[in-house]
Amino acid sequence: MGAIKIAENVHWVGVRDPQLRKFDIIMNTRYGTTYNAYLIRGEKTALIDASKAAFTGQFLDNIREIIPPSQIDYLVVNHTEPDHSGAITALLKENPQIELLCSGAAIPFVKNVINLERPIRGVKDNEILDLGGKKLRFLLTPYMHWPDTMMEFLEEDGILFSCDGFAAHISDDSLFAETIDKDVDFEFHYYWDAIMRPFSNYIRKNLVKLEGLNIQMIAPSHGPVFRENPRRYIERYKEWTADKAAGRNLVTVFYASSYGNTKLLGERIGAGLLNQGFELSYCDAENFEPEKVREAIEASRGVLLGTPTMNGDAVKPIWDIINLFSTVSSVGKKAAVFGSFGWGGEGIKLVADRLSGLKLKVFEENLRVRLVPSDFELNDIAAYCSRLAAFLNS
Ligand code: FEO
């Protein structure tokens, strides 16, 4: 399967990887994937993205169906993850004169990909590259998927080259979504959920940049090209990346408790926060459903984690919940940690440190109680909650 025309003088020159069953370690890819690249010919020629290194031969062959690689003027590097950048070095061997264009954030990454001295130019947001008859507008869209990520809008044809944004892992004989006999909508959502969801706060801002564009087609870096109602796919991203905590005052208490003491602390903290005007939700970590936990994290203004300490560590169900934080938009969220313990209570600090490492804002005061909370300790929780409420509201 070779190059495919998607508009006048615009060709898909990517490759298919139908056998791939895991992407980036974290994602199942039952239909494989594609590494999409696009060749745009005006008076000058631009190539948007490259390919995974293992597919370099096919990638170069597809380009050769349209023009010799030596005639490419620009390589637009939208993103330096190796599924798109792996073939750059081979392309530069074929054509050492290609000018490399990328976001400023991508420049050090590109250098570490090619390990060659080559001029690399960082483009500006909304800068236009005039190819002569085709104008490419650069849109810097950080964190869709990496901080380096950018997109282009081809003004004459209304094509948005969206890199990992609006992608789906599907390899099919057909390139266009409306002609693919697979559940494109499901894979489109699954890709967003696995790859894009942690960056929702950034994506929300990036989507604003697409509002004024007359988009006729979305050409992402993986899977189908969308040419029927492309705005529908942008609207879905808007819906999925909406701020779920906005307009709410929810605090979710995740806890694990062997003998009920940590649970009691969680309930008393919750009652104290209720008095401070918060909405409360509780989750027993021994019986959690991952998707509900992910939704709760996103919907909460703050999260509390309560753990006992066993063998110098927090308990596994709490770590299992913490492992879900990096799969959603949790950076900057407020958190606090509490727990009952018998000997050293190390688990509480380990959890607080881990949440800080995940870039949550963690209340500096961990609430720790040895074994059974006394009436005095329980009464003290009201004052703790006042300080915690001030932190959550700050
Ligand atoms: Fe398709 Fe983030 O690389």
Q: Is the CB of 148 under 6 A from ligand 1?
A: no
Mean pLDDT of the chain, nearest integer:
97
Ligand 1 atom 3: residue of nearest CA = 81
Residue 1 pLDDT exceeds 70: no
* Arithmetic mean of pLDDT, 100-113: 97
As given in the structure block, the two tokens for residue 196 are 């894009």
Residue with tokens 């989507």: 207
Residue with tokens 């074929």: 94
Q: Helices (DSSP H) in the chain: which residue ranges?
A: 56-64, 82-85, 88-94, 107-114, 184-191, 200-208, 231-240, 261-275, 290-299, 316-322, 346-357, 375-393
CA 236 – CA 247 distance, rounded (Å): 21
As given in the structure block, the two tokens for residue 356 are 């800080």
Q: Is the CB of 164 under 6 A from ligand 1?
A: yes
Sheet holding 150-154, edge to edge: 128-130, 135-140, 150-154, 159-163, 217-220
Q: How far is the CA of 359 from the centre of ligand 1 (A)?
A: 23
Reported as a pLDDT band with limits 50, 70 and 90, residue 174 is very high
Q: Is the CB of 169 under 6 A from ligand 1?
A: no
Q: Angle at CA 5, nearest 5°, toward 71 and 37?
A: 60
Helix (H) or strand (E) holding 98: none
Q: Give the list of residues 6+ apart from residue 141 with CB closer than 8 angstroms, or none.
A: 149, 150, 151, 163, 165, 206, 209
SS3 194: helix
SS3 223: coil
CA 137 – CA 130 distance, rounded (Å): 9
Atom of ligand 1 nearest to the CA of 35: 1
- Per-residue model confidence as pLDDT tens digits over 113-147: 999 989 899 999 999 999 999 999 999 999 999 99
- Per-residue model confidence as pLDDT tens digits over 179-200: 999 999 999 999 999 999 999 9
CA torsion angle for 174, 17, 115, 96 (degrees, to 10)?
-40
**Model pTM?**
0.95
* Structural domains of the chain, ranges and CATH numbers in brackets: 4-240 (3.60.15.10), 250-393 (3.40.50.360)
73 by Cβ neighbours in 10 Å (0-12 / 13-18 / 19+) ranks as middle
Q: Is the CB of 34 under 6 A from ligand 1?
A: no
Distance (Å) of CA 262 to CA 268, 282, 305, 345: 10, 13, 10, 12
Q: What percent of the chain has pLDDT over 90?
A: 98
Residue 60 pLDDT exceeds 70: yes
Reported as a pLDDT band with limits 50, 70 and 90, residue 310 is very high
DSSP calls for 280-297: EEEEEGGG--HHHHHHHH
> Quick one: DSSP state of residue 303?
E
- Per-residue model confidence as pLDDT tens digits over 329-345: 999 999 999 999 999 99
* Arithmetic mean of pLDDT, 46-52: 98
Reported as a pLDDT band with limits 50, 70 and 90, residue 7 is very high
Residue 157 pLDDT exceeds 70: yes
- Per-residue model confidence as pLDDT tens digits over 238-283: 999 999 999 999 999 999 999 999 999 999 999 999 999 999 999 9
Amino acid (one-letter) located at 31: Y
Q: How far is the CA of 187 from the centre of ligand 1 (A)?
A: 15
Q: What percent of the chain has pLDDT over 70?
A: 100
Q: pLDDT at position 346, please? A: 97
Question: How many other C-beta atoms can be found within 10 angstroms of the C-beta atom of residue 299?
Answer: 16
Atom of ligand 1 nearest to the CA of 146: 2
CA 260 – CA 286 distance, rounded (Å): 13
Reported as a pLDDT band with limits 50, 70 and 90, residue 8 is very high
Q: How far is the CA of 145 from the centre of ligand 1 (A)?
A: 7
Residues in the chain: 394
